[in-house]
Structure 1
Amino acid sequence: MNDLSLVELLRWTWRQLTSMRTALVLLLLLALAAVPGSLIPQADVDALKASQWQDNHPKLTPIYEKLGLFDVYASPWFAAIYLLLTVSLVGCIIPRTKVYFRAMRARPPRAPRHLTRLGESASYETEESVDEVLARAEKVLGKRRFRRDRHDEGTDGGFVAAERGYLREAGNLVFHLSILVVMAGVAAGSLFGYQGGAIILVGGGFSNNLTQYDDFVPGGLYQQEWMEPFAFDIADFELDWLTSGAGMGQARNFVSKLRYTEEPGAEEKTYDLRVNHPLTIGSTDIFLIGHGYAPVITVRDADGEIAISGATPFLPTDQNFRSFGVVKATDAKTPLALEGEFYPTYVFDNGPQSTFGDLLNPLVSMEVWTGDLGLDDGRSQSVYVLDKAKMTKVTDDGEMFRLDMRPGDTVELPGDLGSVTFERVERWNKIQISQTPGKFVALAGVVLALLGLVGSLYVRPRRVWVRARRVGGTTLVEIGGLDRSSGGDIAEEIESITAELAPAPAGAAPKEQS
């Protein structure tokens, strides 16, 4: 085999990349590449679960970090597969779009030489002339929305070729183009939009700037000055708890009562923020995606000075709102941290648990740690993660020590470390804020894909030919049909067309039908 030149090699590579087989393989690879993102906790989605997984798997964690498995969708290898798939689809779809476009505009093909050999056909003889038969055939087929094309076959004969179902090709064309539209919409959202989230205490507020976000993921070309200058307060939060039936213990009808302004100095407005009913301000959407509890805990050092005091959001770990949280008292005389769980309705049954999501018997249970919290080494650290590498668990004369407190309780810490007070419980809402400039483009692409799919699946293309020629002083008329899709009843249509074409009883009756 001769060596390929550079141009030939590039052409061969392009043909391989843009083949349908390669596109399907890349699509399968993309699906497989997304599996780790579902099985392994993602740091940008749930930092707490990711940290806990890393603590439980110390040997696998360094390997997974090098492979980017804790942030799969931002990893270079995932981006490479996605980019190759995009190029493959574009190179695959555009040529096929040209093919579909030509097929959609094509004229009906010429009639086969022997129409009666088709699967469905009929014939009869008449005294009418060839021109009369073919003229009526054009009229009959036109009423049935066939595209028609008449041909002469010498002095004594001719045929009408007819076809309908061209919308099937149009459906294929629209479906393939819609894929590009969806990809363009997704790309626009990824490049020029952003998505962020914040946990906001009920009664607290939010101003739309970067310092207010707990997590913020901008698009590659997003500019900070594009952020809209709105602000809002969560005045109240309402929800109902099911106390009976199959859904007992579940919450429903979440409503955050917002007061907001679209820009500084603007008129204050109100909005009831519900799940799947976002507030839209300009091009920014505000969603309610979660809620939970925030115990108000005060830590005092040995001198009685307040080291930290305030509501600390705890993250739910089950449907009954058993929640996990960390309180870091870095300003205490001896830096310390509390780590543990909050139970809205505490019950001890083979272990501590919450049996209901509402605040019927609230209790917080926490361990105490002292030492270097790891906040001075310059590394970012989640507020829900406690780096215990340089910390020591507090004990009471060598025995396990744990804080189990209800609202209003105060407990003195051993070793003259101070005291902890569980003041009360507040609520928080998880708010997602995003700009997705390509969402309507992507939506239009999805709608187009559905329309194209319906057309390609339910439009049944079929062809019909009517040939007339003079034979022994009479006109022999042959009708043949071909169904180009499954599920159609072409025999019934041929019979109906024959009945309309055949002359009235004054002429000859149909002679043959097969």
Structure 2
Amino acid sequence: MNTAPHSFGRSVFELMSSMRFAISLLSILAVASIVGTVLKQAEPYANYLIQFGPFWFDVFEKLGLYDVYHAAWFLLILTFLVASTSVCISRNAPNFVREMKSFREHVSEQSLKAFKHKHEAVTEHTPEALAASAQRYLEGQGYKVKNLTREDGVLLAAKAGSWNRLGYLLAHSAIVLICIGGLMDGNLVFKVQQLLGYKKIETRDIPQSQVPA
């Protein structure tokens, strides 16, 4: 049984959903953005030739540094970043939403006793009265509380900060949105059409009247 395609696909998925991969792409984009800020973009080529000389002019031209934000490699990195971030969102969003809704109230007594931070005490109050008092205190501290009466007693499940996970989703969604904006601004559609042969750059000298609209 050949598992190579499955293993390769799984490896690609793990790479695309890796935080290190996304951070590496962001770092490259940050460096490229610095270059695009320091080096004036879309200047007449004669200016670059005078400034850098013939050798470095050719090197920088081949690297696309005179129009960084429209360079093929820059748009390719943006595309990978969109894909990587989207995979991260699709992979983690269901778990985050589930954890935001869950109180984990089905934990057993033995599991609770296994916690490092625990305390056991004997009290004269009834379980219901003690649970009501504890619930009022927790709610006063900003916790959401779920009160469950079980066969072995009363369980109070409390949680706070569930909406903090929403920040992860919003931040990553913002990255995707910004990168898509960069791709659209970089004429990605035109470059793809050019790569596939649907669009060709006209290099002949033709009258203005014959230039397609």
Whether TM-score is above 0.5 comes out as: yes
Please point out which of 158, 167, 171 is paired with 1:163: 158
Letter in 1 for 2:12: T
Change (3 A) 1:36 1:142: closer
Residues 91-490 of structure 1: matches in 2 within 5 Å?
91-109=87-105, 110=107, 112-113=112-113, 118=117, 121=119, 123=121, 125-126=123-124, 128-144=125-141, 145-152=143-150, 154=152, 158-165=153-160, 168-181=161-174, 183-184=176-177, 187=180, 191=184, 220=189
Q: Say if 1:147 and 1:162, in contact at 8 Å, map to a contact too.
A: yes
Q: Say if 2:85 and 2:176, in contact at 8 Å, map to a contact too.
A: no
Letter in 2 for 1:177: L
Q: Deviations over 1:414-466 (max 9, x none)?
A: xxxxxxxxxxxxxxxxxxxxxxxxxxxxxxxxxxxxxxxxxxxxxxxxxxxxx
Change (3 A) 1:160 1:140: farther
| 1:10 is aligned to 2:9 | yes
Q: Say if 1:137 and 1:160, in contact at 8 Å, map to a contact too.
A: no
Letter in 1 for 2:170: L
Structure 1 or 2: more helix by fraction:
2
Answer with 1 or 2: which has the greater Rg. Answer: 1
Structure 1 segments, 4+ long, off by >6 Å, are: none
Change (3 A) 1:24 1:219: closer
Deviation at 1:108, TM superposition (A): 4.2
Q: Deviations over 1:289-345 (max 9, x none)?
A: xxxxxxxxxxxxxxxxxxxxxxxxxxxxxxxxxxxxxxxxxxxxxxxxxxxxxxxxx
Q: CA RMSD in A?
A: 3.5
Aligned match of 1:74: 70
Q: Secondary structure at the match of 2:123?
A: strand
Change (3 A) 1:7 1:85: same
Structure 1 or 2: more strand by fraction:
1
Q: Say if 2:15 and 2:21, in contact at 8 Å, map to a contact too.
A: yes
Change (3 A) 1:87 1:95: same
* Percent of aligned pairs with the same amino acid: 22
Alpha-carbon distance in 2 for matches of 1:62, 1:219: 24
Alpha-carbon distance in 2 for matches of 1:71, 1:90: 27
Alpha-carbon distance in 1 for matches of 2:183, 2:77: 16
Deviation at 1:41, TM superposition (A): 2.5
Q: Say if 2:103 and 2:159, in contact at 8 Å, map to a contact too.
A: no
Deviation at 1:14, TM superposition (A): 1.9
Deviation at 1:173, TM superposition (A): 2.2
Q: Say if 2:131 and 2:154, in contact at 8 Å, map to a contact too.
A: yes
Deviation at 1:190, TM superposition (A): 5.7
Q: Say if 1:142 and 1:148, in contact at 8 Å, map to a contact too.
A: no
Alpha-carbon distance in 2 for matches of 1:81, 1:105: 36
Change (3 A) 1:12 1:189: closer
Aligned match of 1:34: 33
